[in-house]
A and B are shown apart, each in its own frame.
Chain A
């Protein structure tokens, strides 16, 4: 049985639904996601959440890998500066993401697909808004062109 020798196609009539990978820290942003859920706040289902202990444990390779595999956007969400459960993780994450975005920019790759933000455990609504916001932005950017390169 021959498989289609093309990457995932989207039918011309349906709207593009971006897939966003979210790296959330357990202590703040993941709790905010839970709060949004229990408060019945609706947000787009475009986010695929990966829960880590700290935003500082997000290595750039995870973000790059997600994009290489075709994610349309990657979100890193941690505690507000000063509130990190491990004290400095979010500060380091902030520098790492700034570095990654600069490198992507140097190479002419769309660094707007990578986003870092701070969402406190009590900010369920902010979490929902962040996802809505990012989904809209990724829709405007369109599908990740990496998907078209099978040899990537």
Chain B
């Protein structure tokens, strides 16, 4: 079992790449690897209610879905409005996970 930190920085309006990345995250979680999905920059819009159904699938598979608080604030979003199953984090938390030995990181 491997650990993955997958980072999505783009909004869904930029094309199929974001959907494909989320599908990959689901595939990785489904095969039993541990996944932390970080939504950052425009990717935080995916955490708004009703946007990315893949997030519910991921949390159902045990994935930790993180949303960057700085990106939310920069875009004028109240952290309270993001979907309930996600966790608002800061960059120190991200760095801690990223630097853990054995954690594989992909930044999309």
Partners in one complex: no
